[in-house]
């Protein structure tokens, strides 16, 4: 094994090769999407490239492609609106529930296993259940009621699990010190706990945005009028066969990369700032 051997054993090279193969397997399809989105106007959905152009991005933004791509900007707006509400709600609700789990309380297992159930049950099952409930109650399905509710069943379990990770690593000595110095509950939360777990909270926020933006199984039956982005792209998948799909792919990936990179940088900056402060 590695700790004693100076040179690399054969197994290292075999496994390194496997790692490389996995990365190729993961990246090759995505690279095809990014490259082919710059396909020339006469090119198709496969290689070779027939010239390079921004043609398919123009088609996307101007809605000039004909077959049903007119609604992409509106779908994007709907998805962003949904993600904004879902991420804020998830963060607040998960933070609050996480704080509850710092003590033992009757019913804690009930909520925890509900969360596990919400996470592991097939999404289509939960989406169907919510739609059926609204249907039988005679309520209209709407993005701000059933839509947000359906998405919360997907984002909240992850929020709660992240809170468990964050609070599991929280050193109670800081809080005890604050108590000894006479801080009340509100002060302890605002001045001690919140700053320390802030990177985790940003994590919940971002994971909620991405899970809301990408969720389809629960959302599609409950969002009411108008498509969300995943519904729109799924529709295009079956209806259209031009590189416009790849243009959408490149843009959505860029959007996600920017979002996640931004939040990672933000979390790093917060951690550094806290470290710098505690050195003083």
Residues of this chain, 192-231, that bind other proteins according to CB under 8 A? 210, 213-214, 216-217, 221, 229-230
Task: Verify binding: residue 108, other proteins, rule CB under 8 A.
Answer: yes
Beta strands in 90-176, from DSSP E residues, in sequence order: none
Q: Among 72, 83, 86, 161, indicate the residue that binds other proteins (CB under 8 A).
A: 161
Q: Among 124, 177, 194, 271, indicate the residue that binds other proteins (CB under 8 A).
A: 124
Q: Which two tokens stand for residue 117?
A: 């159930």
Task: Verify binding: residue 141, other proteins, rule CB under 8 A.
Answer: no
With contacts defined by CB under 8 A, how many residues of the chain interact with other proteins? Answer: 96
Q: Among 40, 41, 129, 224, indicate the residue that binds other proteins (CB under 8 A).
A: 129
DSSP state of 234: H
Q: Which two tokens stand for residue 273?
A: 């700032």
User: In DSSP terms, which residues pair with 52 in a beta bridge?
Assistant: 39
Task: Verify binding: residue 84, other proteins, rule CB under 8 A.
Answer: no
Task: Verify binding: residue 149, other proteins, rule CB under 8 A.
Answer: yes
Torsion over CA: 66, 67, 73, 74 (sign): positive
Task: Verify binding: residue 265, other proteins, rule CB under 8 A.
Answer: no
Kindly give, in sequence order, each residue whose CB lies less than 8 Å from that of residue 219, ignoring residues fewer than 6 positions away.
82, 127, 147, 150, 151, 228, 230, 231
Q: Among 82, 156, 192, 209, indicate the residue that binds other proteins (CB under 8 A).
A: 156
Q: At what angle do helices 244-279 and 229-239 cross, to 10 degrees?
A: 150
Backbone angles phi, psi at 199, to 5 degrees: -60, -40
C-beta closer to other proteins: residue 179 or 253: 253
d(CA 51, CA 134): 51
Q: Which stretch binds other proteins (CB under 8 A): 53-61, 166-174, 193-201, 270-278?
A: 166-174
DSSP state of 139: P
Q: Residue 129 CB, nearest distance to other proteins (Å)?
A: 3
Task: Verify binding: residue 181, other proteins, rule CB under 8 A.
Answer: no
Q: Residue 25 CB, nearest distance to other proteins (Å)?
A: 6
Q: Residue 63 CB, nearest distance to other proteins (Å)?
A: 19
Nearest-CA neighbor of 72 among 237, 209, 195, 196?
237
């Amino acid at each position: 094994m590695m700790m004693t051997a100076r040179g690399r054993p054969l197994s290292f090279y075999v496994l390194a090769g496997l790692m490389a193969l996995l990365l190729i397997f993961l990246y090759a399809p995505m690279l095809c999407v990014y490259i082919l989105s710059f396909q020339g106007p006469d090119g198709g959905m496969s290689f070779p490239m027939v010239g390079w152009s921004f043609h398919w991005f123009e088609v996307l933004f101007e809605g000039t492609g004909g077959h049903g791509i007119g609604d992409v900007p509106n779908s994007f707006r709907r998805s962003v609106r949904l993600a904004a509400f879902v991420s804020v709600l998830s963060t607040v609700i998960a933070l609050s529930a996480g704080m509850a789990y710092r003590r033992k309380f009757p019913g804690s297992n009930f909520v925890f296993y509900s969360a596990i159930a919400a996470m592991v049950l097939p999404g289509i099952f939960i989406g169907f259940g919510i739609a059926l409930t609204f249907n039988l109650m005679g309520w209209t399905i709407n993005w701000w009621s059933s839509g947000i509710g359906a998405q919360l069943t997907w984002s909240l379990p992850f929020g709660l699990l992240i809170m468990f990770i964050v609070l599991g690593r929280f050193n109670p000595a800081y809080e005890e010190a604050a108590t000894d110095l006479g801080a009340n509950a509100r002060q302890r939360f605002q001045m001690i706990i919140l700053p320390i777990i802030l990177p985790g909270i940003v994590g919940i926020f971002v994971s909620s945005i991405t899970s809301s933006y990408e969720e389809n199984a629960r959302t599609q039956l409950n969002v009411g009028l108008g498509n969300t982005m995943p519904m729109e792209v799924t529709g295009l998948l079956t209806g259209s066969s031009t590189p416009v799909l790849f243009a959408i792919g490149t843009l959505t990936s860029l959007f996600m990369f920017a979002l996640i990179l931004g939040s990672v940088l933000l979390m790093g900056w917060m951690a550094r700032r806290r470290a710098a402060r505690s050195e003083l």
